[in-house]
Amino acid sequence: MRPEFARRSAALAVALAALGLTGCGGGISVGIGCCDGFDDPPNVSLAANVSAAHPGDAIRLVAAASDDFGVDFVAFYRLESDGSATRLGSDGVAPFQWDAVMPSTAVASVQFFARAVDGAGQASDSALVSVTLLP
């Protein structure tokens, strides 16, 4: 068999196999990983059940999180006046929520955010949610 004929025959066999697989819902994929080869970081948003609370009051934080391959957990944080963040806890099951206690500080409001983490360890933070601290 001539080399050119063998090469064309092999290419035709691969093309026919791919065509046959597409008819039954299968196909040929080249590459590593799933789908398009990219894993996007999760998306997350946060809401509080109240807009104002007294020191010591419990408030409920609820996060909506999604990811192209699934969210492993959502962690909830309180932003401190010095810019650091205190992890309050986490929830691994939707609906992602956490009951936080309002601190007894002299600031006018308390800010919270949520961090969603996917199976690849990618994380995204929500926008800040402010709760006014009542006297």
CB within 8 Å of 43: residues ≥ 6 apart? 65, 66, 67, 116, 124
State which residues form the domain around 102. Answer: 43-133
| Same domain? 73 vs 122 | yes
- For residues 19 and 80, state if they share a domain: no
Q: Do residues 17 and 56 both lie within one domain? A: no
Phi-psi category of residue 24: left, alpha or beta, with phi > 0 → left and psi -120 to 50 → alpha: alpha
42-83 tens-digit pLDDT: 999 999 999 999 999 999 999 999 999 899 999 999 999 899
Provide the pLDDT for residue 107: 82
74: left (phi over 0), alpha (psi -120 to 50) or beta: beta
pLDDT tens column, 85-117: 999 999 999 999 999 999 987 689 999 999 999
**Can you give the C-alpha Rg of the chain in angstroms?**
25
pTM of structure: 0.72
Residues 65 and 9 in one domain: no
Domains of the chain: total: 2
Q: What does the pLDDT read at residue 75?
A: 98
